[in-house]
Amino acid sequence: MKEKICRENANTPTIFKCADLILPWMDPTELASISRTCKTLNSIVKSITAARISDASRTFENLPIPFVNTIDDQPYAFFLYTPSQTLASNPSLFNRQSWGGNPLTRPNMTRPGVNVDSVVVEGVCGCKCDRCDVELNCPCREMSAFEVSRECGPSCGCEVECGNRLTQRGINVKVKIVKDEKKGWGLFSDQVIRKGDFVCEYAGELLTTKETRRRQQIYDKLVLGGKFVSALLVVREHLPSGNACMRINIDATKVGNFARFINHSCDGGNLSTILVRSSGALLPRLCFFASKDIVEGEELTFSYGDIRLGKKGLQCFCGSSGCFKILPSEHT
């Protein structure tokens, strides 16, 4: 009886509109349950799934980032998308985000959490340029010996088109997320990428050290249970004194961008990591640049670190000639 009612009512424009507004907010388990209700809803779910496969970024990025899986029946990886860093807040406030469906009826996209770019340091003066030329000496532009790049930011008079806001304009290289039998999902180039090209930043929730340790304990237990991979990254910046460092904790496990799929390589990989500071911004951002020329179809990788706590760590499948067979790990 329920299926009959569904089939009869689903032909009305009102039901179609409601389904396209509601279903894109559902997670894969909920969609699977809905798809078994009737043929009409099954068809709508298939279209939503196809849209999700075609673009992991939920249209937040300049270019679509497709999923490719010839290994198993998992069509895509589910997570909430943010193109830049966000301040962690109550998870119940951002545990839903529209993904898929008809773009004409889809609600305005919202990024989870609080955009950290909107949090600025008071009293910091930026440049007065209307549009900086990267070939000229913009007051904001400098590269220190500590691998920190500086760009114009919220305290500057220029707009996002400024030549000294390279990493703030989103991605300009084609990439795809591909499933590997051993490593799981990984990020691959979908075009030739030249040495020095900006690829992406590592976006996710910015955590306190206390919250990082709490989450890591949870993730460690889930990893032991199998079929769980965390994307919690701890970055330590050593100051010029050499005696202190600033620690940045970025968790892209539940909320992040496509950089969460970049796998480790024991030989350093083909991506270099640089902290990018924008004038007036509260914290730097971790950005990836090509450390060598990258051919189309090549996996994008970087080194997670050199420290390994013991011989019983997670197995490494990077395949490099100097592979340690164990993924890097250290106390958080």
Q: In this predicted structure, which of 29-38, 111-120, 304-313 has the lowest mean pLDDT?
A: 111-120
Give domain status of residue 3, yes or no: no
Domain limits for position 162: 57-332
CB 122 within 8 A of CB 112: no
288-318, pLDDT tens digit by residue? 999 999 999 999 999 998 877 766 778 899 9
Give domain status of residue 45, yes or no: no
More confident residue, 137 or 322: 322
300-312 burial, b at 16+ Cβ within 10 Å, e below that, comes to: bbbbbeeeeeeee
Question: How far apart, in whole angstroms, are the C-alpha atoms of residue 244 and residue 17?
Answer: 56
DSSP per residue, 40-61 = HHHHHHHHHHHHHHH-TTTT-S
| DSSP bridge partners of 67 | 177
Q: pLDDT tier at 223 (50, 70, 90 boundaries)?
A: confident
| DSSP bridge partners of 114 | 87
pTM: 0.87
Question: How far apart, in whole angstroms, are the C-alpha atoms of residue 123 and residue 118?
Answer: 15
Which three-class secondary structure state does DSSP give residue 82? coil
Give domain status of residue 236, yes or no: yes
Using CA atoms, how far residue 232 sits from 14, 79, 121, 185, 212, in Å, is 43, 14, 26, 16, 8
CB 290 within 8 A of CB 113: no
Q: Which of 231, 175, 165 is nearest to 204 (CA)?
A: 231
Give domain status of residue 30, yes or no: no
How far, rounded to the nearest angstrom, does the alpha carbon of residue 187 sit from its chain's CA centroid? Answer: 11
pLDDT of residue 47: 93
Average pLDDT rounded to a whole number, residues 6-28: 70
CB 281 within 8 A of CB 121: yes
Domain count, the chain: 1
Q: pLDDT tier at 328 (50, 70, 90 boundaries)?
A: confident
CATH number reported for the structural domain that contains residue 226 in this entry: 2.170.270.10
User: Is it the case that residue 145 has pLDDT exceeding 60?
Assistant: no
Question: Token match 């991605």: residue?
Answer: 171
Average pLDDT rounded to a whole number, residues 197-225: 90
Give domain status of residue 19, yes or no: no
CB 59 within 8 A of CB 109: yes
DSSP per residue, 117-134 = GG-B-TT------SS--T
More confident residue, 15 or 283: 283
Give domain status of residue 26, yes or no: no
CB 176 within 8 A of CB 188: yes
Q: Which of 133, 128, 126 is nearest to 153 (CA)?
A: 126
Question: How far apart, in whole angstroms, are the C-alpha atoms of residue 31 and residue 78?
Answer: 12
User: Is it the case that residue 75 has pLDDT exceeding 80?
Assistant: yes
Give domain status of residue 29, yes or no: no
226: left (phi over 0), alpha (psi -120 to 50) or beta: left
Give domain status of residue 269, yes or no: yes
Using CA atoms, how far residue 233 sits from 9, 14, 36, 219, 254, in Å, is 48, 45, 38, 13, 13
240: left (phi over 0), alpha (psi -120 to 50) or beta: alpha
